[in-house]
A and B are shown apart, each in its own frame.
Chain A
Amino acid sequence: MTAKTLRVTTPTPTDIVLTRVFNAPRHLVFDTLTKPELLRRWFGARGWRLVECEVELRVGGSWRFVSVGPDGLRMGQGGVYREIQAPDRLVYTESYDDQWVPGESLVTTVLTERAGLTTLQTTLRYSSPEVRDLVLATPMERGVGESYDRLDEVLASR
């Protein structure tokens, strides 16, 4: 049984690296990262849902998500694809409409498959250490209540 634990590391002052193993071949994982009909089904925080999801999957193509959250709060984010090597690598820029994360970040996703398990490693590189630290502090902007709910569950499951 694979431990489906998420590792969050900060190897440099501007980066956040998320690492997670999935029990699926990487072409499927790649699909869930790039196909709107699949993205809509998992992407985002609890209480938020993607109401717009446009993916122009080519180098130089753009992507745009709009999420609606608690109290009808809307959050738009988008960027441009820089590298696409299905099914093992995806690089794109990301910025938020309301600048709750200032500036543009670069997201590099690498998928490696071994014995039917896919490791998804996402490196989020921010424009400065200050922005990176702000991001680490920001999920509360999406609704601190939900986060506490999750915390509850995490605590309860122990």
Chain B
Amino acid sequence: MKQVGYALDEPERLDATFAALADPIRRAILARLAQGDATVKEIAAPFPVSQPAISRHLKVLEGAGLISRGRVAQRRPCHLEGRQLRLVVDWLETYRGYWAEAYGRLDELLDELQAGDDVRQSSGGREGQGT
């Protein structure tokens, strides 16, 4: 039976998620939210950028499904969405997949090269063996 990757139905979401993560401030925001929910003001405090700038970052993170905003009037605390982050972590496993696959081809090539070496060695001493 063919297994289907868990993320297959969400490639676009994943694109947005990785784009969102490709920014140090946004990653720092996620790290902050990993400690617990926080308001925009609380999140912005340690950063040398304006609160509106932080709000824009939060919007990107929210669009990527990495955070959600609470409905409590005014405060609207931000909440880390672990599920989407988990998806990313799972996806990162495929970085290993990329190299694992290339190295798999290298295994085959090395086997072939060694077979060639063996042929040369076993025919060693016999002059005139074709090249």
A133 to B106, CA, bound (A): 26
Check if A155 is an interface residue, CB within 8 A of chain B. yes
Which of B20-28, B61-69, B123-131 interfaces with chain A? B20-28
* CB-based contact B3/A22 at 8 Å: no
* CB-based contact A148/B5 at 8 Å: yes
Which of B40-48, B75-83, B97-105 interfaces with chain A? B97-105
Chain A nearest CB, measured from B123 CB (Å): 18
A22 to B93, CA, bound (A): 21
A23 to B109, CA, bound (A): 11
Hey, which chain A residues are within 8 Å of B102, CB to CB? 42-45
Hey, which chain B residues are within 8 Å of A24, CB to CB? 110-111, 113-114
**Main secondary structure on chain A at its contact with chain B?**
helix
Check if A58 is an interface residue, CB within 8 A of chain B. no
A145 to B12, CA, bound (A): 11
* CB-based contact A150/B97 at 8 Å: yes
Chain B nearest CB, measured from A3 CB (Å): 12
Which of A85-93, A103-111, A134-142 interfaces with chain B? A134-142
Chain A nearest CB, measured from B107 CB (Å): 6
* CB-based contact B110/A156 at 8 Å: no
Chain B nearest CB, measured from A158 CB (Å): 8
Q: Can you offer 19 A-B residue contacts whose CB atoms are under 8 A? A: A22-B106, A29-B110, A32-B109, A32-B113, A38-B109, A42-B103, A42-B106, A42-B108, A137-B22, A144-B15, A147-B94, A147-B97, A148-B11, A150-B98, A150-B100, A150-B101, A151-B97, A152-B2, A154-B97
Known: A32-B109, A38-B113, A155-B3. 13 other contacts (CB 8 A): A6-B96, A22-B110, A23-B107, A23-B110, A25-B114, A130-B27, A140-B15, A142-B98, A144-B15, A150-B94, A150-B97, A152-B4, A152-B5
| A→B interface (CB under 8 Å) | 4-6, 8, 18, 20, 22-25, 28-29, 31-32, 38, 41-46, 130, 133-134, 136-140, 142, 144-145, 147-148, 150-152, 154-156
Task: List the 6 closest pairs (A to B, CB-CB), nearest first.
Answer: A24-B110, A42-B105, A155-B3, A150-B97, A42-B106, A147-B94
